[in-house]
Amino acid sequence: MRFRVRKAAHVLERVGLALAGAACGLFVGAYVGSSIAHLTTQGFLLLMMMLGAVGFYLGIDAPQLHFVPGDDDVDAAEFLSAVGTFCATLTAFASVAVIVLRLDPHAVWTWLVLAGWIAGVAMQITAGTKARWRRK
């Protein structure tokens, strides 16, 4: 019984993280899509949401390497997960700020937000995939 409860809690946590990633992707997609005419499509919004969902599902809770005292090696998956999560959430925060405050930043900032989002979720996906392959 305890195993099923723990498993259910883990699944709920993962789904919650995926939903948070999808919401972040929606905000980034709404901001970028409203600023760049070619990206004002439902398909673009769905792509941004899917990238966020997959990135947050795989990358935020990536299994870590076992700690070995005296070992100075950096866990690449853990580092990529952390940097990717930071980049993705920073760009989502910036997108929400632009939308809510009704700012009109230069187009360069819009492209930087898009690049930061894509880089962040790509790092999360890579980190989560790498960590799960190493565990098997």
Domain ranges of the chain: 2-135
pLDDT, residue 19, reads 96
According to DSSP H, which parts of the chain are helical?
2-35, 42-59, 76-101, 107-135
Note the pTM of the prediction, 2 decimals.
0.85
Task: State the residue for tokens 């580092």.
Answer: 79
Residue given tokens 């949401």 in the structure block: 49
Q: How far is CA 44 from the centre of its chain?
A: 16
Give the pLDDT confidence score for residue 71 in this predicted structure: 66
Return the pLDDT at 76. Answer: 84
For the chain, list residues with pLDDT below 50: none
Give pLDDT, residue 67: 67
CA dihedral 116, 118, 119, 125 (to 10 degrees): 140
